[in-house]
Structure formats: C-alpha cells, structure tokens
Amino acid sequence: MALDKINPLHKKQHGNQAVETDQLSERHWVTKSNALIEKTYQLSVLEQKLILCLSSLVQPSDEAFRPYRIKVSDFVQLLGLKTTGKYTEIRKIVQALQQKTLPINTGQSFLDITWLSSAEYFHGRGYVELEFSPKLKPYLLQLKEKFTSYQLKNIIQLRSSYSIRIYELLKQYEQIGHRTFSLVELRALLGIPSEKYKLFGHFKDKVLNQSKRELEEKTDLCFEFIETKVGRKVTDIKFYIRKNNLHTKQMTFTKRTDPEVHLKILLEHSGVKSSMAKSLIKDYPAAQIQRNLDFSRTILGRKSLQNPTGFLIQAIKDDYANNKSLIHKKKLPEYLQSSNETPLFKGGCDAKTVEKHLLETKELLLQITEDSPQKEALVTTRFETEAKQYLKTLMEKRIHENLPHIQVNEFNDAEIIDIYSSLLSNPEMLPIKKTAW
C-alpha cells in the first residue's frame, strides 16, 4: 500500500484497461475552514454527505482540486443508497446539488459559488467523476489555521441534515466547551425556512432534541442546551459541548489492516516526514500518538502556530493531550489548557476569576473567527452573547447559593463592565429568585 496518501487510489479493471479510483472510507478525515462551517446554506442530508465524502479525498498537499473518481459501490455503502438504480439516484443527488449555490459575502462583493464544477457518470464502468468548484479552494485546500477536522464516520450515519450542521458548529467550539446562538442566527445557519417550525416547541423537538439524540448515539460529541428567554420569548440557545465517552476512539481497524500503517499515514498527512513518523511509532504507544493527533487537530484548528508540525511532534513526545502533562509543562497558554472545572460551575468565584475566564473566551473567539472586514464586529457580537449568557447563569447560581451579586466596580475590563451593567439594569435579563411559601 502506498503510504504517501491517506486516501490511496485503487485500480478497477475494465476490459484490458486498469482504471484508478479514489477509495472512500469512513476513517478518512474531513477538514473545512471555520468560515465555510459558518456559512448559511441549504443542503439535504444526502447532498451534505456527498460533499463531505468528496472533501475527505482532498489531500493536505493539494494545490488545486482534481477530478475525484469514485466507485459507485462506495457511494452506495456510505450514503445508504438503494442498490438498484444507483446511478440514477446518485445523478439525482448531484443534479440537485448543482442547482444550489453557496452565498459568500467577500466584503467587496456578493459571490454565489456552485459546489461542483463538473460531474461525469461512467455507466457500465462502476464509477462517477466529480470535481469541486475552484472557487471553494480557500475553504478546503492548503488550510494552515482556523479550520475544523473530524472523521467522516461521525456524520455518515446521521439521518438529519440539521444534525450534521449542528455537529460541525459544535465541533468547531469543542475546545471552548460551549457555544451560544441567537435563535434567529441558529435557524439561518441550519438553513431552516421562516415558515418551518414557527413554534419553538416544534423547533426544539424536531431539530434540537433529535440532533441531541443522534449525536449522542453516533458521534464523538454530545451536548446539553439551555434556553434564554426575554419575557416568554426564547431568544438564545446555549450549547454545552463535551466528548462522547462512548465514541472517543477515533480509529477502527479491520483484521486486514495494520494499525501502524494507518498511524504513519495520519502522521504524514499532518506534515510529519516519513522517517520521523516511523521513529514516533517505534518509540511511543499507539494510543498516545492517536490522542495527540486528535488534540493537535483541535488546537491547530483554533490557533495559528509558526511550526504546526513541530507542535504535533512535541505534543506526541510530551503527551500534551494528558491534562496533567499540559498544565505541568505550561506548553500552551492557559486558555488552551484543559481543566475539569471552569468558573461557570462555581457560583462563589470572584470577579477576577470570572473576568479572566471571559477574556480567555474572547481570545479564543478571535483565534477561530475568519479574517474579514466584519471580523471585529462579529467577534464583539459573539462575545457579548457568550458573556451575557455566562454572567446570567453565574448570577442564577449565586442567588441559588444565597450569595450577593458581584459588584460592577470589581471588574476592570470596560467591555465586561458594560455587559454586566446592562444585565443589572435590565429586569428582564435578571434571574428571578424563587420565593419560599
């Protein structure tokens, strides 16, 4: 097996001519820019899966897209299609996809991108040939920072298009551990038309609760959520994100697969030279290499580092993914270090601790938000939403624990002071203490 590609080409015999095809596998990784994850678009569950399958074939060293030649049987298996009329079904999915565009606001213009530039069907040969639109290059190729990666197997079994989108939006914030959306923003990101699920109860049941069940059953993430109300109206949804302990193992191997081969491919896929990959596999346990590959993807998807390959190698050697090792060695800034407790769950924490946590959250938002003319305003809006929800939850906990509110003058940051003051001055935003009868 060739080790220079994570997605090796397989040969399919057609008459006397050998035809090379790209092999699809649920073990392949999807890497997308955070900017693409946060775009608003409407795709069906099969259209999304087809795009993600195609994305998993993109190589980190690729400078341009190429035609991806995929066996129809691979599509049938991964997409769960009918075995009869499979060419027709795939063509229907592709044709529907080619009618839809991805709207992009570049800051200077409004650009509509088609997902695919071409699609060719080879009846009787057992494969189709698809190619991404070249305009998608900034969102899928040569990604060095502000990206999110996950294994294809995490989404391939999901039955709801909303579940796939929620998975990606939460995966992007996995390191932060929570993410808040206004209800209007979340509906737009999920591509839900205004006439659908008008009642929040329907939206909660058909979108939020269904996604919650699906992600817990089939992916490496799970979540809880709370609603924020102004009066009786739900205005915001806050997600609390955590690893799904039932699905933390990121790689599965068949009896015919050598785990060391797959680790070597993954290391080379991440920029590690072949000789160094062999040395790491020889000197360190497979589990340590795998967890630090996963850890590095999370960190590098959120923070730009001058030497990401060097970071990965050092992470494996020092086992950064181990919390105690991370905190002890101080290899990362505190806002990227894992912790079993955050100020959110301690009502009695002081203003200094609260302020530190909020400023670290803002720093992470700056790191993961794509550069654009709107970046500063976007980060400000997101931070205000996160901070309001955080502070409101903290106030509720302090009331529950019979503690007084933190005083405004205990904070130093002007932005946090303004947000906290607005909560204290707005009765609708304040938690109501239950009265004992």
Answer yes or no: do 242 and 254 share one domain: no
pLDDT tens track for 129-160: 999 999 999 999 888 778 888 989 999 999 99
Q: Tell me what pLDDT residue 305 has.
A: 60
Answer yes or no: do 77 and 115 share one domain: yes
pLDDT tens track for 159-170: 999 999 999 999
Answer yes or no: do 17 and 134 share one domain: yes
Answer yes or no: do 136 and 270 share one domain: no
Answer yes or no: do 238 and 356 share one domain: no
SS (H, E, C) 75-122: HHHHHCCCCCCHHHHHHHHHHHHHCCEEEEECCCCEEEEECEEEEEEE
Answer yes or no: do 280 and 299 share one domain: yes
Q: Is residue 357 part of a domain?
A: yes
pLDDT tens track for 269-304: 677 888 888 889 988 988 889 888 877 776 665 555
Tell me the DSSP string of 187-251. HHHTT--TTSS-SHHHHIIIIIIHHHHHHHHHSSEEEEEEEEEETTEEEEEEEEEEE-GGG----
Answer yes or no: do 276 and 357 share one domain: no
Answer yes or no: do 1 and 104 share one domain: yes
Answer yes or no: do 94 and 16 share one domain: yes
**Which residue would you say has higher pLDDT here, 357 or 51?**
51
Q: Is residue 348 part of a domain?
A: yes
Average pLDDT over residues 310-334: 64
Residues of the domain holding 219: 157-248
Decide if pLDDT at 3 tops 50.
Answer: no
Domain boundary among 230, 248, 266: 248
Whole-number average pLDDT of the chain: 80
Total number of domains in the chain: 4
**Which residue would you say has higher pLDDT here, 391 or 84?**
391
